[in-house]
Amino acid sequence: MKGIIYIDIEKCLGCKSCELECAVEHSNFKDLLKTIKETPLPQSRVSVEALGDISMPMQCRHCEDAPCVAVCPTKAMKKMGVEEPVLVEDKLCIGCKLCVLVCPFGVLKMNKEGKVAIKCDLCIERTKKGEEPACVNACPTHAIQYKSIDEIVDEKRGKAATDYLVVLEEKKKKAGK
């Protein structure tokens, strides 16, 4: 994967724009006004969970050693490579729900007919074209981001260094008084 979904929960408003955009992206028409007339209505692959004042979008983490892939009896769940997302091949899915049961994050679900597992696919068609996943594009506060592991590590290291320097400056000021 060239990137992963990174969530900054301090920025999440719980607005569910990501859910709506995800459902539209996975619709036949890929247009909100046309999508609301589809039967069945398309389902989002992300869901915003709220605990008190904190909200957090939850979707597949595309595990390196994905339990859903290991347990799938028909090989409908596939991970094509180390840097690739976990995808569902609809035609092979028999709806046994084993993947739903083993997901450590509880983010897999069945389609409305209960016949096929659905999950985040990192908007594979969009990311292949160099675009961000729909949920990232929809987030008004940029709480959902699509980044490489290296970018995330670099940002955290930079923040840690900055925080450390701030503490040192405060200590210097206190010592000078």
**Four-point Cα dihedral 159, 58, 94, 76, nearest 10:** -10
Instruction: Report pLDDT digits (tens) over 71-91.
Output: 999 999 999 888 789 999 999
CATH number assigned to the domain comprising residue 72: 3.30.70.20
Residue of 102, 107, 100, 90 lying closest to 48 (CA atoms): 107
Average pLDDT of the chain is 94
What average pLDDT score do residues 31-38 get? 94
Task: Judge whether residue 1 has pLDDT over 90.
Answer: no
- Establish if 121 belongs to a structural domain: yes
What average pLDDT score do residues 145-162 get? 92
* Predicted local distance difference test score (pLDDT) of residue 105: 97
- Establish if 31 belongs to a structural domain: yes
Task: Judge whether residue 149 has pLDDT over 60.
Answer: yes
Identify the H or E element spanning 158: helix 149-176
- Establish if 163 belongs to a structural domain: no
- Establish if 158 belongs to a structural domain: no
- CB burial readout 51-78, b (16+ within 10 A) else e: eeeebbbebbbbeeebbbbeebeeebbb
Task: Judge whether residue 57 has pLDDT over 70.
Answer: yes
- Establish if 161 belongs to a structural domain: no
Task: Judge whether residue 3 has pLDDT over 70.
Answer: yes
Q: What percent of the chain has pLDDT over 90?
A: 88
Q: How confident is the model at residue 176 (pLDDT cuts 50, 70, 90)?
A: confident
Range of 38's domain? 4-147
* Predicted local distance difference test score (pLDDT) of residue 83: 79
Q: What percent of the chain has pLDDT over 70?
A: 99
The predicted model scores a pTM of: 0.87
- Establish if 171 belongs to a structural domain: no
Instruction: Report pLDDT digits (tens) over 97-140.
Output: 999 999 999 999 999 999 999 999 999 999 999 999 999 999 99
- Establish if 153 belongs to a structural domain: no
Number of domains in the chain: 1
- Establish if 130 belongs to a structural domain: yes
